[in-house]
Chain A
Amino acid sequence: MARKRTSLFPVEASSVSSSLLLQPEQKSNLFGLQEAYEVNVNDTTITPGSSQIDTAYTPAEANLGSIPLLQQSPESPVHGHHSNRNTASSSPISVINSLGGNLHQLKSGQINRIINVKYSNDPILLIKQLSVDLAQKESELILLRQENFIREQQLVKLCNEYGNLSTLEIDQKLKEMNENHNSNGANHSNNDIEYANEQDRHVDEILKGLIGTAIHNEMDTTKRKEHETSPEKHRKKESNHVQAQASNESENPFYGQFPKPKSWLRNWFNSSEDLTLPPTTQTQNTTINNRPYSKSFNLSFMKNDNNTSSKPNISATKLPAPVELDSIKMGFSTSSNETDLDESEADTSREEVNIDKYGFFNDIENVLRAKSPPPPTTETRAASTATNSIDESQAILIGNRDILQTIDQLKEISKIHDSTNQQIEKQWDTLMKEISRDFYKYMNTDHDEGSEMFGIRGLNIIKLDSRMNGNFLNDTAIGKIRTTPAGPYSHHYSQLVKLIDKFGISSKYRYSLWLELSGAKNLMVNGVYQELLSEVKQYEDEDAIEAATDPSPEVRMRKAIIQSNIKQIKLDLHRTLPRNYYFNNLIDLKPGPNFYKLQRILYAFIAYRPDIGYLQGMNKIVGNLLLIASRDENKDNETAETFSEVDIFWIFIGLIEEILPKYRGPNNKPQVFFNSLLSIRTDQMVLNRVYLKKFLPDLHHHFAKLEVETELISLNWWLTLFIDLKFLKLETWFKLFDSLLVDDLNVGGSSNDSEANISEALNLSSSVHSVIDEDLSTRGSIKLICLTLAIFKGLQQVLLDIQDKEFIYDLLNSNGSNGYRSENISRHMGNKLSLRYDEITKYSISFAKKISGIDLKLHRREFIKSEGY
């Protein structure tokens, strides 16, 4: 419960405390978390049967433990400080300064003498003095925490709106700073406090100074890392900077403009010359290293830190590393054509509430609290609300200096980000141009499917390649091979797949590529969606009435099936993405626009394929796909085509019919993914007991030792196609979806193999069909198996370090919001564990080369036979 309380601060308070104060024993977050639990246990065992937990774990008091004075003199009245707070406020500050916190260094005799001389032989006076000190410190701490909290909230808001960063990314950044600081944080804060005492300034000034220096230290350490070449010079610059800022802090040009930063920030991103900003320390050759985010994408606390952190940089010098942000310009606040919303009202309220670019509420606890009658307040809660209600202008004042710094960084990030994206886009442009040129040159566009340049899973490109290289493969043969056919002239398909595997599909082309590659365009028939909807609507309305006029048993049957599906869908609609603004508008307490879109798509789906029907998990897949559509609506780029509700419907159909694995049903008929739970289960057995063991033996051993049943974990992943994994950002998930739409190159063997496949395919004509059918049952599975293994591999080092079964389950659990632990994990370490897309695909491809369809089928058969399950 105490944990919950602290989580009222969206940006964890620990980052505040550790940046300003001592956290002497702070380990890596991974274990710091567990430690926190242990502390909790102790707390409860020490003071059972009381409500002390609530108070005993307020962050302020937790921090109190790290004040040097207290920490090193355990005899001092720790538990008495509450009652003494009042005396503290009434006593003059000068008294405080008369006594240093160095009592612990004195010998007992000396202390005795002090008591004798200074306190007229009354130890109680000394104790009182100490507790006064404590109380004073505590009040300072509370202030510090408040200010920092506000600052961070402002920054997060700012980053969210204008930097187009998700909270994840911001959190990540904060954590990183935090860590950097921790390494030498102790000394710093110590100096800071002493420095402040020496100056003997007014408390407020001291506090502000502290914050300032702490922040600068943070900046300094991050920057110093980046500019290891000239640390001396850099530090000098920083300190000058501090002074400069301190002197004109209230006259700052940005200051007054902050309340309406929308316009100036955007201008400023475009033309930075006009504004006098602190000089950026960016130099030409540090550009790549300057990218703070790329650093944090790595699992930076892995054992072999050197290897992991250097790898991406090496590759980055060759190619621009993929940036997980899409476009800096499309901040949430620019949304203007969200039809289902009351414009003015929604916009103002949204500015107050912290929502990321995909519509997820960042501080859900606050939103919920604001919308529900206040629960019984404890001391902690009162403090936090007080924090929230602090005057906005004050927040700006405090945040000002730091905002400048952050803006500085944001600007750098956005520059790098933009240029990287430009390069990636250029590569896409080139390829697309080439493909379209050759397509019109070599393909007979009058031909039936001539309008589709790419075709399902890019098969038309293979066809194009094969034509250009002089191999005239028939369609079935093309269906079988998974690479550009041999030949000197064309390798568009391989290029396409490589580009997708490296960067994901550029947002510019995602619309057309998703529609074609998924098969949606091929399946799409105008008007069908509306027809299906009106049919379901009709069944929905006459829910309970048994119409006797039903023409045939088939229709009655169909109706019954659809109605039972409607029932289940209705149960799940309000439970889908309840933390997302587009699904659950917590501000106005009504369903968001996507709620209804999801409902319609699922309704249409059950009417389109009643034989499949609705399966829990579909709501998540469709729901998340809808987020890319709603994000596109916010784009001010009018030229970009955006996904409509109908598009998403057909993409989902395409996904089921063309992309996801199909299995063998009872009559050896192909059966779609969602109808094949038992076959999926078998695949989990093969995946975890054969391939995991074979390719990641250490991890497999580790899991076996801890009795972690990974097949139960990966089963969940498959059922929702990797959505809601704590270490996959939504952005990355969209890219994973991109990669699902094409086959890995050379799956199931070396390139020689695939050449053999082609010649084989050329010679076979009658038996080709059965071959393709078989292929159907393994192709999709291999892709999912490889992605699963790739994720395990990406997390391997982290997982090997965890010796707690429960913790592993929590970490890998995709049922996101179950229980407090999951929330804590995602808050504390989810950001750190972000897997990079190109990392996943790289691993995935390497696994794909080692797994053949025949192999998979053999293992499946073994498991079915042994009926271990």
Chain B
Amino acid sequence: MSFPNPATSVKLVLLGEAAVGKSSLVLRFVSNDFQENKEPTIGAAFLTQKCTIGERTIKYEIWDTAGQERFASLAPMYYRNAQAAIVVYDITKPASFIKARHWVKELHEQASKDITIALVGNKYDLVEDDNEEDGLRKVSVEEGKGLAEEEGLLFFETSAKTSYNVNDVFIGIGSKIPETNAGNGAAPADQTGGEGRIDLTSNSVAANRAGECAC
């Protein structure tokens, strides 16, 4: 892999209710790691990760914010000038989906006009083996998709624990972000097979963590 273009910096903010897995999602993306008892984020944490999409290299500058409702008043500090946002909810917690709806609304009203937003239902691992009715899943795929279509968002269901779909979120966002650099047109980013599973046991993100992600 080569670096045809210098990396474009993209400011990305994560929003969502407490303990839905925002930090875990970032940790998975940035260092391909998962921690069972992740300490709650206070204020916000800053992390970066590069990601190559087709010919472009994007450097995500990620602000991973605290989830507790009371910190909401600080959120504008973080999503100010953000080019991308990930709104996370927990697919086993309906309340977190309602909160996600609020965040999307706020972002549309307050954040930059051309912000790219991805809606992410996390903790897919908990419902992977669900039978139809009695499972842990409380927010259906349709609900999530519905909201995403309504508001013009990208939509993913992920598991930070198993790493299911995590990279696709960032690839998806990257390929949707308008190109600011004068360069080649962005190639479509479905080399990984759309929303399919990425095999992270080999050398994808973590191995390339200082370089680019597996795409």
Contact = CB atoms under 8 A, between A and B. Distances in A.
Interface of A: 1-2, 4, 37-38, 40-41, 44-45, 48-53, 376, 568, 571-572, 574-578, 584, 613, 615-617, 619-620, 677-678, 681, 711-712, 715-716, 719-720, 806, 809-810, 813-821, 869
B191 to A, nearest CB: 13
A742 B92 CA distance: 48
**Interchain residue pairs A-B with the least CB separation, the first 5:** A716-B43, A578-B37, A820-B31, A815-B45, A809-B46
A4 B70 CA distance: 35
Interface string B71-91: 101101110100000000000
Given A51-B202, A568-B68, A817-B35, A617 B30 contact: no
B197 interface: no
B54 interface: no
B35 A806 contact: no
17 contacts: A37-B210, A40-B210, A41-B211, A49-B202, A51-B203, A572-B40, A615-B68, A616-B67, A617-B43, A620-B42, A711-B77, A806-B48, A813-B45, A814-B43, A818-B47, A820-B209, A869-B76
Interface stretch (B19-27, B140-148, B168-176): B19-27
Contacts of B211: 40-41, 44-45
A677 B68 CA distance: 13
B44 interface: yes
A677 B71 contact: yes
Contacts of A616: 18, 40-42, 66-68, 70-71
A576 B210 contact: no
B46 A619 contact: no
Contact of B77 (A1, A48, A50, A869): A869
Interface of B: 1-2, 18-19, 23, 26-27, 30-33, 35-48, 61, 63-64, 66-68, 70-71, 73-74, 76-78, 80, 201-203, 206-211
B70 A615 contact: yes
A574 B37 CA distance: 7
A613 B68 CA distance: 12
Given A1-B206, A820-B30, A45 B46 contact: no
A280 B171 CA distance: 62
Contacts of B35: 817
A819 B202 contact: no
Contacts of B48: 806
A381 to B, nearest CB: 14
A869 to B, nearest CB: 6
Contacts of B74: 677-678, 681, 715
Contacts of B66: 616
Contact of A719 (B26, B43, B78, B202): B43
A738 B134 CA distance: 54
Contacts of B209: 1, 40, 820
A220 B68 CA distance: 54
Contacts of B36: 578
B77 A712 contact: yes
Contacts of B206: 1
B82 to A, nearest CB: 12
Given A815-B39, A815-B45, A571 B77 contact: no
A716 B1 CA distance: 38
A229 to B, nearest CB: 47
Contact of A575 (B38, B45, B61): B38
Contacts of A712: 43-44, 46, 63, 77-78
A703 to B, nearest CB: 13
Contacts of B37: 574-575, 578, 584
Contacts of A38: 210
Contacts of B27: 818-819
Given A1-B206, A818-B45, A820-B209, A575 B39 contact: yes
Given A818-B45, A819-B47, A869-B76, 7 more contacts: A45-B1, A51-B203, A616-B40, A815-B39, A815-B44, A817-B38, A818-B26
B45 A48 contact: no
Given A678-B73, A681-B77, A820-B31, A48 B1 contact: yes
A816 B64 CA distance: 13
A175 to B, nearest CB: 23
Given A616-B66, A869-B77, A44 B40 contact: no
Contact of A819 (B1, B30, B44, B201): B30
A815 B41 contact: yes
A561 to B, nearest CB: 12
A711 to B, nearest CB: 8
B161 to A, nearest CB: 13
Contacts of A814: 42-43
Considering residues B19, B36, B42, B80, which has the most beta carbons from chain A within 10 angstroms of its beta carbon?
A: B42
A617 B46 contact: no
Contacts of B39: 575-578, 620, 815-817
B92 to A, nearest CB: 13
A572 to B, nearest CB: 5
Contacts of A820: 30-31, 33, 209
B68 to A, nearest CB: 5
Nearest to A717: B43
Given A616-B71, A677-B70, A677-B73, A575 B40 contact: yes
A453 B44 CA distance: 41
Considering residues B23, B30, B39, B40, which has the most beta carbons from chain A within 10 angstroms of its beta carbon?
A: B39
Contacts of B61: 806
A814 B44 CA distance: 9
A52 B202 CA distance: 9
A619 B30 contact: no
A4 B206 CA distance: 10
Contacts of A376: 201
Contacts of B32: 1
A1 B207 contact: yes
A821 B210 CA distance: 10
Contacts of B1: 45, 48
B2 to A, nearest CB: 8
